[in-house]
Chains A and B, each alone.
Chain A
Amino acid sequence: EDQVTQSPEALRLQEGESSSLNCSYTVSGLRGLFWYRQDPGKGPEFLFTLYSAGEEKEKERLKATLTKKESFLHITAPKPEDSATYLCAVQAKSYNTDKLIFGTGTRLQVFP
């Protein structure tokens, strides 16, 4: 069964304390992996798409990487405004192109 698992469920960091969020996936053929950021009471906001193992994307303090089994979202020197829930979603070749499998998210809190 295709599955996406995110860890940890929640992460508390001090401002400036770098860390990584994990998204592991089990799918029969990966079309693409997406990272989204979701603030409380809002809709998710697109961050990155990764297509193949070895690919990396960066945006400000965030860097996403992809292997054949998992993706990491590295947060360097986070600030309080980085506090949000980060969602990972996978598009698998076994489904039509409109199906995304979402993980349950990692809730990040950054304290000053």
Chain B
Amino acid sequence: DGGITQSPKYLFRKEGQNVTLSCEQNLNHDAMYWYRQDPGQGLRLIYYSQIVNDFQKGDIAEGYSVSREKKESFPLTVTSAQKNPTAFYLCASSRESGVHSPLHFGNGTRLTVT
């Protein structure tokens, strides 16, 4: 079955360490996205990529970095510069960017930084 795989499901890190969250899709989608979900807030866009080797900052990109070397993969690195990294991170993809292509989400990675 086609879908989006995020790993790991749970991740624990010490403050000051960088951590990379994995996102792989086999839907042959061009666009991929990273969102952050916090209690009581709507999903917020971190980064998105419409095509391989290109990506754009979302609303809350500070302290995060991404790469898009392959169509299937869009890893997110949470750096030590991110002031409040503990959150639920969701990766998504869409067939193409735009209103006519709804997002397909992975099942998330819950990151806890202490």
Contact = CB atoms under 8 A, between A and B. Distances in A.
Interface string B91-102: 010000111101
Nearest to A39: B107
A49 B99 contact: yes
B18 to A, nearest CB: 24
A46 B104 contact: yes
Interface stretch (B39-47, B66-74, B75-83): B39-47
A97 B98 contact: yes
Interface residues of B, number: 29
Interface string A75-112: 00000000000010101000001111111110000000
Contacts, number: 64
A40 to B, nearest CB: 11
B103 interface: yes
A41 B40 contact: no
Contacts of A59: none
B107 A41 contact: yes
Contact of B43 (A32, A46, A87, A97): A87
B21 interface: no
A54 interface: no
A44 B90 contact: yes
A97 B105 CA distance: 18
Interface string B52-65: 00001011000000
Contacts of A97: 97-99
Nearest to A45: B105
A25 to B, nearest CB: 12
B50 interface: yes
B108 A42 contact: yes
B31 interface: yes
A91 B99 contact: yes
A34 to B, nearest CB: 6
Interface of A: 4, 31-32, 34, 36, 41-46, 49, 51, 87, 89, 91, 97-105
